[in-house]
Structure 1
Amino acid sequence: MGLPSYQGALLMSSPSRSDTNHLMVESLLQQKGWTAGWATLLAISGNLVTISSRSFGVADKIKSGLGVAGPVIDNYANLLLNDPNLAFTYFPYSAVSPTYVAVLKNSRHADEARAFIHYLLSPKGQRILADANTGKYPVAPLSADNPRAAQQQRLMAQPPLNYRLILKRQQLVQRMFDTAISFRLAQLKDAWRALHSAETRLKRPLPEIRALLTSVPVDAASSEDETWLAQFDNKSFAEQKMMEWQIWFLNNQRLAIHKLEELK
């Protein structure tokens, strides 16, 4: 999705506005690594039409013709697949994200809640979930003749996401995404358009300039440092970091544009 051919054609939500998008972003960061993951996200961002307010809005806007493609969870997309013009494809290493159910600690109806959970996990409950128009997979294996059985097995075979890490750096990822992408989308699109144009004209990649547009001001070690991450609970610290990041991204982009102008 970072190819120039997708310029002005992609849609995406922000992890600060959508929990499901946050999980998709984290899946990319955990599978590709912090540095390579952000490089991918920033390359994709140059092709975005807009940042959708909600993850479901991505699929909805694509259906409405406002975009061509975008990352969205399967059950949001599957609900719209009765439209012959729409298609959904899993990423090669898509991770499973469970839908949680629990009994409140001080519930006045704990017995009824437990009975409901047992029902959901029973063969009958799982069969209803598998047949319902929710787009979700049951946790019990689907029968071999079910058209979704093979995909369910592939999803279940993937390593689970590190949810402890997700929660630990939730504020970092959300604030970084908005500072790097959401709040400067127009400037990003201009910079990437200029880079794609230069690479096409010169008929060669420009890795030095590309690196300026795909780097983030936080390294992988810091992204897992519990002591440092805990400081984002302090609003003043978080806002100060975002201001520093804004300046950092602005300087990198100015340098990238300057280098592109030197190539003319």
Structure 2
Amino acid sequence: MPCNPSLTRRRLLGALGLLCAARPLLAAGPDELVVLTGHAEPALSAFAAAFRETHPEYRLNLIRRRPHEALALLSRLGQGGVDVYWSASPRTFEALRQSGAWRPLRLDRGELPECVAGLELVGPQGHYLATEMVGHGFAIDPPALAALGVPRPRDWADLADPRLAGRIALPVPSQFGFAAAMVDIVLQAHGWERGWALWSEIAGLSCLVRHGSGTVRDEVGDRRAAVGLSADAPVADDAPLEFVYPASGGLAPGHVAITAASAHPQAAEAFVAFLLSERGQRLLSAPGIRKLPVRPSVYRQLPAGYHDPFRAAATGAYAYRGDSASGRLGLIATLFEQMLVHRHEELCRLWARVHELERQRGVRLDEIRRQLCKPPLDERQARDPQLLAIFRRSLEGSPQPAGQTGWPQLAEQQRRQAAKRLTELEPA
């Protein structure tokens, strides 16, 4: 058939037009939603799979960072291309809010409460929201406790039992974000002086857990520790361990926020809404995740015996009030480090000598205890705004703030005095 140039040209132009029209459709795929998070497996896999089912139009890109790394990334120009930050570090969220890092959340909160007991679930001006909670407490191995002759601990003071020497797993507060609040719970419940005295004795009976050396649940699950201080229900349903929520308890939130520089605010809002939906909240109870939902209605669907902080709060539990903005938690983490983690082995030896001498004499050595337990600064000094400002951006995993080098020396001086007095009292 003879070729018709004009017809061929019209067909070619038509084909090109169709191709050009189709190009946006061919190039358009799911919008990539970049979520920066501190959460670990299996929570990430479970939430990613469920979100993909609910919103197949979005492609989820999860990036894991520790809080101090997240703070640095989100403080950059463009906020590292991140759309959502989802993690458990109240100090990070508040520090970034103060620098204008978040866009206000316009989520319809519906049944979601503003707070539970002393814990606020909504950040200032609604720039970040709590998506889950963990309760501070004790992971225990009941058979190990029974073998030691130690009763099930009900509160923090029960851990100051010499029979637990070397069998308590204690996370270092400067390396685990939840642990600084855990220390503060005891300080609020018992007062500054008595609280630090209790922490000194507990630390002297403990093995320290550092970032990268395992977890508290590993120490208890592998039978190296009989008690582990933790901030979540630490074991799967089929594990032989238990979790105790102490009488003087506290709740720690995990938050979510949308970055001010988000290129995909609609996708980001969909992700936040999913986390707080019935389905997202039910996922928190899965074995291996075991967090506490912030949606009260979800607890009616959870197994019998699952801890309900809303019900516990109604009976007076969880009076602890955290303060993520003042710098108090950063100060507490640094003070704990320099007073109780620095030369920890020496602290353990001194407490072993105290306990043995008290056992022999049948009386408490109050003078020596005061020397071992006294913090390097009093509560009035700890409230100084200029001092607190130094620690306001001190996050777990970051270098300890400089300028407080006198604290380890003061603690060491008190230990030398205690050791000298012990030597005088011990039999020749």
1:64 aligns with 2:222: yes
Quick one: structure 1 residues 89 and 189, their matched pair in 2 at CA, closer, same or farther if it must change by over 3 Å?
same
Alignment of 1:140-151 (within 5 A): 140-141=295-296, 142-143=299-300, 146-148=303-305, 151=308
Larger radius of gyration: 2
Q: Which residue of 2 aligns with 1:119?
A: 274
Q: How far has the Cα of 1:124 moved from its partner?
A: 3.4
Q: Give the secondary-structure state (helix, strand or coil) at the position aligned to 1:12.
A: strand
- Tell me the distance in 2 between the aligned counterparts of 1:24 and 1:136: 17
1:6 to 142, 164, 168: 164
Q: Which residue of 2 aligns with 1:109?
A: 264
Q: Which has the higher helix share?
A: 1
- Tell me the distance in 1 between the aligned counterparts of 2:193 and 2:384: 15
Quick one: structure 1 residues 40 and 240, their matched pair in 2 at CA, closer, same or farther if it must change by over 3 Å?
same
Alignment of 1:142-221 (within 5 A): 142-143=299-300, 146-148=303-305, 151-157=308-314, 158-159=318-319, 161-164=321-324, 167-221=326-380
1:247 aligns with 2:405: no
Which TM-score applies when normalising by structure 1? 0.87
- Tell me the distance in 2 between the aligned counterparts of 1:213 and 1:192: 8
1:95 aligns with 2:250: yes
1:17 aligns with 2:172: no
- Tell me the distance in 2 between the aligned counterparts of 1:95 and 1:113: 30
Of 24-33 and 34-43, the range deviating more from structure 2? 24-33
Q: RMSD between aligned alpha carbons?
A: 2.6
Could you list the per-position Cα deviations for residues 148-172 of structure 1 after superposition, in whole angstroms to 9, with x for gaps in the alignment?
A: 456433454423522246x512332
Q: Which amino acid aligns with 1:259?
A: R
Q: Give the secondary-structure state (helix, strand or coil) at the position aligned to 2:309.
A: helix
1:83 aligns with 2:239: yes
Q: How far has the Cα of 1:112 moved from its partner?
A: 1.2
Contact 2:168–2:207 at 8 Å: present in 1 too?
A: yes
Contact 1:96–1:156 at 8 Å: present in 2 too?
A: no
Q: Which residue of 2 aligns with 1:230?
A: 389
Q: Which residue of 1 aligns with 2:99?
A: none
- Tell me the distance in 1 between the aligned counterparts of 2:287 and 2:215: 22
Quick one: structure 1 residues 55 and 140, their matched pair in 2 at CA, closer, same or farther if it must change by over 3 Å?
farther
Contact 1:94–1:155 at 8 Å: present in 2 too?
A: no
Could you list the per-position Cα deviations for residues 223-251 of structure 1 after superposition, in whole angstroms to 9, with x for gaps in the alignment?
A: 2221222245899x954422x22221122
Any gaps of 5 or more consecutive residues in structure 1? none
Contact 2:327–2:391 at 8 Å: present in 1 too?
A: no
Contact 1:52–1:58 at 8 Å: present in 2 too?
A: no
Overall identity of the aligned pairs, in %: 27
Of 3-12 and 26-35, the range deviating more from structure 2? 26-35
**Alignment size in residue pairs:** 258
